[in-house]
């Protein structure tokens, strides 16, 4: 599967992925669990850029990951230098969904989706998403006609 466009969706972040020797299994390919680690790196990069931890904690909030889906399409090896991308595909009231892809030279190696909500650390219950995040997402949607 080939990736045709660099910007996939709202509030996209992109990171180069480095593959280490300890990421490789006995078959010489990246172990499946490592992809989830990269998903977390991308999600953290998203938060760093759009809703930093310091800002969340001042509001006694934290994002909660509820679901992760992964589809492995083509194995990666120690010699590969993939790029990871994450973008917001849906934000609604109290829920968020991000899509993720790992690609190299236009070849998609893995896709995934994560979803969750925000949690009030003091009240110990889910809360509405921050209005500023919803506004950023809606502005992207309006500007691209998506």
Dist. CA 127–CA 115, nearest whole Å: 15
Going from the N-terminus, what domains does the chain have, and what CATH number goes with each? 10-144 (3.10.129.10)
pLDDT of amino acid 142:
85
Dist. CA 4–CA 18, nearest whole Å: 23
Contacts of 105 (CB under 8 A, 6+ apart): none
In this prediction the pTM is 0.90
pLDDT of amino acid 5:
60
CA atoms within 13 A on the CB side of 112: 25
pLDDT of amino acid 11:
92
What are the structure tokens assigned to 70, written together?
């992964």
pLDDT averaged per 10 residues, the chain (length 146): 68 97 95 97 96 91 96 97 97 93 97 96 94 89 77
pLDDT of amino acid 146:
61
């Amino acid at each position: 599967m080939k990736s045709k466009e660099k910007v996939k969706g709202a509030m996209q972040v992109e990171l180069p992925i480095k593959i280490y020797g300890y990421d490789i299994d006995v078959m010489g390919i990246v172990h499946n669990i490592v992809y989830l680690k990269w998903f977390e790196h991308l999600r953290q990069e998203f938060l760093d850029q759009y809703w930093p931890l310091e800002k969340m904690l001042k509001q006694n909030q934290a994002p909660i990951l509820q679901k992760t889906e992964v589809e492995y399409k083509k194995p990666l090896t120690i010699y590969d230098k993939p790029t990871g991308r994450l973008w917001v595909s849906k934000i609604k009231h109290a829920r968020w969904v991000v899509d993720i892809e790992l690609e190299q030279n236009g070849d998609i190696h893995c896709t995934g989706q994560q979803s969750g909500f925000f949690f009030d650390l003091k009240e110990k219950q889910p809360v509405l998403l921050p209005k500023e995040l919803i506004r950023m997402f809606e502005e992207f949607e309006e500007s691209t006609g998506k």
